[in-house]
Amino acid sequence: MKPDKKIKLALALPDLLALFFGAPLLMYFVSRAAAFPPQANKVILWAGLPIALLLAGLTQIWNRKRLKNVVAFATDPQAEGQNITAAFKAALDFPLVSALHMTVNFIVAVPVIWLIVALLAQATNFWYIVLYSVVTALVLGALIFLIEEFLLKDIVIRLALLHLGRQSEIIRKTVRISLTHRLIVLFLVVMMLSLSFGIMMERLSQLTLIALIGLAATLIIAYLSSRNITDVIDSLVVALSEISGQNRGLGRHLPLLANNELGDLCHQYNQFVNLLDRLVSDIEKVAAEVAASAQELASSSQQMNASGQEISSTIQQISKGATVQSERLTSVAKSLQDFSEAAKRIDSQVRMTTVSSQRAVDSSQQGAAQTSEAVQKIAEIYQSADQTSQKVVKLQQKSKEIGGVAALVSNLAQQIDFLALNAAIEAARAGEAGQGFSVVADEIRSLAVEAGNSAQQVSSLIRDIEAEIAKTVEVIAHTQQSIENSRTSVDQTEQALKVISSTVTVAGAMVKQISESSRAQTKSAGQVAQLASEVSAIAIQTAASTEEVAAAVEQQTASMQELSAVAQTLSQTAEKMNSLVSRFKSANQ
């Protein structure tokens, strides 16, 4: 059936179902719930038919207005000025809106039916009328929704394919009915439908016809309900089989037909296909770039390999020259080191000579100073000896005077002894009267004897002192002569020491200059030896570094050969990857 004819049928379907299914079913339930007289049936028939036709006409006008854009697209899809987005949204919303519209009309008819029953008949059970009216409305709405959705499916698919980039955005603006809610409503409708036909089977004799009608209605509802799910699953299976099959097609996108879990599944599949398509395109580009880069890398690695071999040969020659230079510099450094050691020994000896000369200068200066001091001391000694000689002469004179005094005392002692003897004699003559005087005379005599002895001892000591003084005078005279001779010798020594000190000072200055020159020479020799050692070490390091560079160049040459092999392998891998990716056909192919 063509899309325009399906749309016309979709427009007429609500009215047809309402007139030929809903209204008779409702009237049947009402007639079973109330007793109508024969005249009332005629009134209901002649009055209800125009009202039903009027409502059907209004429904047609309303439906055609809602599907205006859909009808225009189905009649001429290429016509200009069409609002494709509005047509897509209207086609998605129309089944639910049409079903709700008809359901509301039948539910609103309940008060009207109750009024008619109240005026023309006697109701046996008013709640049966309400229940059967609601059941009829729900069953009729479910049938309209399922059939309308089935009839408009093709046009919805065509409109969805024109909005591949905005399907999800447009779908989200529609009413979302999840599969769970849909199945719950359908099961309730089937249950109500089964209940209604069960009641009819109890009151009518045509059981087979009623059972067949109920079974047909149930099968239609089940078929239309499952068809929406299986169609989406079949489309998904076909699309996945194209991806996994030989064609490897990535250009198929699934249309979004409803705002539910199936629509989410189709949307996620489309997102996955778009991502996979972009990934395949990116891999193709990367594979081409990798292949080109691998070829360039292989060419560059070959050139670098040739250059590396030339560099390796040159570096080996440099390494040999550096080794010879290192050996020569090592020999020079050793000679300079020996020279530096000899210079250090000379400097050490010069330093010792400098110290010795400085000591000689100090000793000569000290000797000169001591000689001058000795001259002064000798002069002082000579003067002291002269003074001592004079004092000794005076002492000799005084001792002679003391000798005279001692002789005088000795004479006086002899005279006193003689007088004491005479006094003792006279006391003896006096008898007892003279005993006391005799004792005194004895004591005086004893003292006179002691004084005489002492005077003799003093005389003897004075003679000894005079003899020693005489010897001392001779010694002092001899000492003065020796001092005079020593003074002359010291004067001569002082003059000689001055000459020696002057000579040693000049020699010390010369030795100091030699020491400074030797120190500078030793320092320079050490610096030269150190520089030579450093140059030798640098030469050794240069030779070692050159050998390391040569080894590194050889290793780099080997690495470049490996890199060339890797580049060739990479190029082959890129070609294989490009071949594998080319099996997928993107949306642009």
Three-class DSSP labels, 376-391: HHHHHHHHHHHHHHHH
Which amino acid type is present at position 529?
A
- Chain segment 364-395, per-residue pLDDT in tens: 667 667 667 766 776 777 677 677 767 767 77
Q: What's the first-to-final CA gap in the chain, in angstroms?
A: 32
Query: 48-62, 393-407, 520-534 — which is least confidently predicted?
Result: 520-534
> What is the model's pLDDT at position 546?
62
Please check whether residue 66 is in contact with residue 99, taking contact to mean a CB–CB distance below 8 angstroms: no
DSSP 8-state class, residue 246: S
The three-point CA angle 126-129-130 to 5° equals 95
- From 332, 336, 354, select the one nearest 518 (Cα to Cα): 354
DSSP structural state of residue 585: B
Position 494 scores a pLDDT of: 64
The tokens describing 94, both together, are: 């129309």
pLDDT at position 402 = 75
**If 0-12 CB within 10 Å is exposed, 13-18 middle and 19+ buried, where does residue 41 land?**
middle
> Nearest 5°: CA angle at 457, between 455 and 459?
70
Which H/E stretch holds residue 505?
helix 435-581
- pLDDT of 511 higher than 60: no
Whether residue 444 is predicted with pLDDT greater than 70 in this model: the reply is yes
What's the CA gap between 147 and 153, in Å, rounded?
10
pLDDT, greater one: 41 or 320? 320
Alpha-carbon gap, residue 10 to 14, rounded angstroms: 8
Quick one: pLDDT at residue 588? 52
Taking every pair of C-alpha atoms in the chain, what is the biggest distance, in angstroms?
Answer: 234
Burial class (CB in 10 A: 0-12, 13-18, 19+), 488: exposed
Q: Nearest-5° angle of CA 201, CA 204, CA 205?
A: 100
Q: Answer whether residue 124 shows pLDDT above 60.
A: no
d(CA 358, CA 168): 112
| pLDDT for the residue 428 | 76
Residue 251: pLDDT over 60 = no
pLDDT(583) > 60? no
Write out the residue limits of the CATH 1.10.287.950 domain(s) in the chain: 286-581
SS3 content of the chain, % helix, strand, coil (to 5): 90, 0, 10
> What does CATH list as the number for 286-581?
1.10.287.950
